[in-house]
A and B are shown apart, each in its own frame.
Chain A
C-alpha cells in the first residue's frame, strides 16, 4: 500500500475551487516536488494533507499510523511570545535532550539550541522548524517553500540536508519549491500543479513536457538547458 494516496480531490476556498480533481500517490522514501505558479494551490494541497483544510470531494488516504512532519511556508512568531529553540523543539511533546540534539544536528543548527527564536536569521529559523519536524521521526516530511529567502549557498545546503535526512530516516519527502533547477536535481518525481495536476513524472520527463514549459513560459532550450546544466556540471551550481 502507498504511504499516501489522494484521489479526485476538490477543495474550495472562499467560494472558489482551488484544487480540482487532484490525484497523487506517494511511496515510502521517495522525494516528490510540487511545482506551479503562485496561487496554483500548492500550499492548499499540503494543508489538506495535514488535515488543516477539509476537501469538498475526494479522499486523502494515509497509511495507518503515518507520522507527518510539517514545515509551513511562513511562520510568523508574535513578538509578544518569548520562545527559545529548545522550548520550540519540545512543542507539543516533551523530548529527551539527546533526541533534540540529534534533530538539530541533522538540520544543521547545533549551535542555536538556547537562542531566542527572534534572534535567528530566516535560514536558521527554517532549519529549526525542519529539526522540529524531524523530531517525531516522520514517515512523511512536508516542506512548503522551505528555502524561501535563502541564498544560493543556503539553498543548496538545505537540499543536501534533506537528501541526507531521507537516507537516515527513510522518510518520504513532499515539498513545494520555486527553484526549478534545484528541484530537478533533488527529486525523484516532480508534479506540476495548476489547480489540477497538469503533468507529473521523473524530472527529465517533466522538464521536457510541453505543459511544464507552457506553465513557466520557458522555451524548449531554456528548460532543457536548465536541467542539463545542473546534472552534468554539479560543481558549477553555485555560479550565478
Chain B
C-alpha cells in the first residue's frame, strides 16, 4: 500500500489541509479576520491539554475549545473592547493557559513541540482519515454556502436584502475555522495554522480577478508550499511545519516582486507611448 510510506501520508495530509485552507483563508483575508483565526488556533493548545487530561481524542478536544473560543470572541466583540485588543488578550492567554494545563499531564512534555509546530511526518493512517474527513467537510460547507458567504462578506445589508442572514454565515465560517484548526494541528501546529490560512490567500490576491480565481490560486500556492516544504525539510533536515510556512512566505514575496515589476513595466511602456504621442503631434 502506498499509504505505508510516511512521506506519502505526510504529502497527502499537507495537500488536504492546503485545499481546505484555501477558501477559508480567502474569506478570512477578505473579512479581515486574520487575528480571529490566530486566536482560534492558539486556543487549540488548551484543547490538546483538555483532551489529554480527559483522555478523549485530540481532534474533538481541539474542535470544542476552538469553537468555544470563537464563540466567546464573537459575544465579547462590540462590548466595549476593540476587536484586536480582545483577540490579543484571548489568543495569548489561552495559549499560556493551555501550556500550563499541558504541564499537568505527565509524559507529554516531549510532545509539546509537536503540538506547537506540528509533526506532519508522524501522520498515521487514522490521522490521515481525520484530516481528509475534516477537509472534505469544510470544502463541502464552503461549496454549499459559497454564494451566501461571499454576499455576506461583500456587505451585510446587501445580504439581508437578498434574504441571507449574515449572522448564520458567520457561524458557518466559525465552525469551518474550528474544523480546519483541528485538522491542521498535526500538520503545522497551533503557532503556524493562521499562516497556512493567510499567506496562500494573500499570495493569490496579486494574480486574481475574481474571488473564485483567488481561491484556486490560494489552493495551488498552499499545495506547492506543503509539498515543496515537505521535500525541503526532508533534504535539509529542518522542522517540517516551519519549513512549509517559510516556503509559503517565499512564494508571497516572489508574487509581490513580480507584481511590482509588472506594474513598473506598464508605467514605463505607458510613458514611452505618451512621449511618442506627444512627439507625433509636434
Residue numbers of A with Cβ under 8 A of B are 47, 50-52, 68-70, 72, 75, 77-78, 80-84, 87-88, 91-93, 116, 136, 142
Contacts and interface: CB of A to CB of B under 8 A. Distances in A.
A92 B213 contact: no
A92 B214 CA distance: 18
B210 A82 contact: yes
A47 B157 CA distance: 7
Contact of B150 (A51, A91, A136): A91
Interface of B: 29-32, 147-148, 150-151, 153-162, 164, 202, 205, 208-214
B173 to A, nearest CB: 15
A83 B151 CA distance: 12
Given A78-B30, A82-B208, A83-B210, A92 B155 contact: no
B210 A87 contact: yes
Contacts of A116: 209
A89 B168 CA distance: 23
Given A87-B211, A92-B148, A92-B150, A80 B157 contact: no
Nearest to A138: B161
B93 to A, nearest CB: 29
Contacts of A83: 154, 210-211
A68 B30 contact: no
A74 B252 CA distance: 32
Interface of A is mostly: loop
A52 B156 CA distance: 8
A77 B154 contact: yes
A199 to B, nearest CB: 27
A69 B212 CA distance: 25
Nearest to B204: A82
Contacts of A47: 157, 160
Nearest to A82: B208
A83 B158 CA distance: 15
Contact of B205 (A75, A80, A92, A93): A80
Nearest to A115: B209
Contact of B153 (A68, A72, A81): A81
A68 B161 contact: yes
A3 to B, nearest CB: 16
A92 B210 contact: no
Nearest 9 CB-CB pairs, A to B?
A: A70-B161, A52-B160, A92-B147, A50-B161, A92-B151, A81-B30, A82-B208, A87-B210, A52-B157
B148 A75 contact: no
A82 B147 contact: no
In the complex, which of the residues B156, B162, B208 has the most CB atoms of chain A within 10 Å of its own CB atom? Answer: B162
Nearest to B160: A52
Contacts of B157: 47, 50, 52, 70, 72
A136 B151 CA distance: 15
A92 B209 CA distance: 18
B164 A78 contact: no
B211 A75 contact: no
A77 B155 CA distance: 8
A80 B155 contact: no
A51 B147 contact: no
In the complex, which of the residues B29, B151, B156, B161 has the most CB atoms of chain A within 10 Å of its own CB atom? Answer: B161
A50 to B, nearest CB: 4
Contacts of A92: 147-148, 150-151, 159, 162, 164
B158 to A, nearest CB: 6
A159 B159 CA distance: 25
A70 B160 CA distance: 9
Contacts of B210: 82-84, 87
A51 B162 CA distance: 10
Contacts of B147: 91-93
